[in-house]
Structure 1
């Protein structure tokens, strides 16, 4: 009995350690699910797996319930902010951490170790690559309000093309003597900054956000 107890405690400690390694990165970037959350997810999924093996219940059913529970946590992390969805990476990290805990719970230490290394590689090493991609290609939502004139918004679309930006027209509306245009614009960060400076210095623009 003592051997089983020692092995189970080691499993929980390993799960806590792997969760901490992943949680440090999330905590460093001020994400909603940080160090403590990742540790608790790793410990919890390991503990449920250990309990299921001791009870002799169907392991697949316990695993399915763990995944369902993690889905609720992930759903609370993902939210919309300024016309974009954030928290998906953190939710996926929570999901992966739960899977690591389950691996530890069944004693698959090698798989858990290698998988945690891959997760850390994705979170740490690929961050510069993600930054490079964002600098080369960004998607922004623009809204411009100005006094109505014929072909006013068409002139802005010509400006977008001149800057090498791909613009998809959204809702356009006129209220009184003002007209509002919205676009989804794709292009490099440098060209977006050029467009922003031009619009900020445009005396005809009454409102502008992106």
Structure 2
């Protein structure tokens, strides 16, 4: 029994470590050590749950999902118009499931899950980059003086690069206007639009 427990911890550390290496390589907030601890912790909770749960052996293990949810929420960052850390939060969630699977003795299932996690984290970013080259969504916030520039001129620039757009909001303070546009199109088209907007002296400021 002791050897079996040690084996489960070793496997939890191994599979968690493999995923953690990828997260550490990309300098994510939940890196090598964190992912290993999540995997081992989930494994241990599952073991304890089966030993102490009595007629309800899943009682403790069921709360792992809730606890991991709070941990995952801690790595999600809101900044400006972007939300970062969702992939890392999802990785934490799935690695905890791997740890639970190992703790319950489902080694092959846990190994398969770990394999697919690594494939998704390593391979799919290349697929995403290809998709972005064809279709990328960006929110541009642009401020300008109505006396010098106009919404129509901005939207004409968007249309010139064949970018699809819709205005999300437009705030007016006298002649000072600030608008947010939701824009979709290929990466190169976005780059050309940003370059022109950077060179446009009549635009006070913009960000995305």
TM-score, normalised to structure 2, is: 0.94
In the superposition, relative to structure 1, how do residues 55 and 180 fare at CA in structure 2: closer, same or farther (>3 Å)? closer
Identify the residue that residue 96 of structure 2 maps to in structure 1: 98
Q: How far apart, in 2, do the equivalents of 1:62 and 1:172 lie?
A: 51
Show the counterpart of 1:41: 38
**CA–CA distance in structure 2, aligned partners of residues 209 and 120 of structure 1:** 34
Residues 170 and 183 of structure 1 are in contact (CA less than 8 Å); yes or no, is this contact kept in structure 2?
yes
The separation in 2 between residues aligned to 1:59 and 1:186, in whole angstroms, is 50
Once the 2 structures are TM-superposed, how far is the Cα of residue 68 of structure 1 from its aligned partner? 0.8
1:154-199 deviation line (CA, Å, top 9, x unaligned):
1211221221111110221222332222211111110011111111
The reply on whether 1:176 has 2:148 as its aligned counterpart is: no
Match for residue 198 of structure 1 among 192, 196, 199: 196
Q: CA deviation at 1:62?
A: 2.0
Cα deviation, 1:58-94, whole Å, max 9, x if unaligned, reads: 2332221111110110111112122111111111111
Matched residues, number: 207
Please show how residues 1-150 of structure 1 align to structure 2 within 5 Å.
4-57=1-54, 58-149=56-147
Task: Give 4+ residue runs of structure 1 displaced > 4 Å after superposition.
Answer: none
In the aligned structure 2, how far is the partner of 1:208 from the partner of 1:54?
59
Computed over aligned residues only, the root mean square deviation of the Cα atoms, in angstroms, reads 1.5
Structure 2: which 5+ runs fail to align?
none
Q: CA deviation at 1:10?
A: 0.9
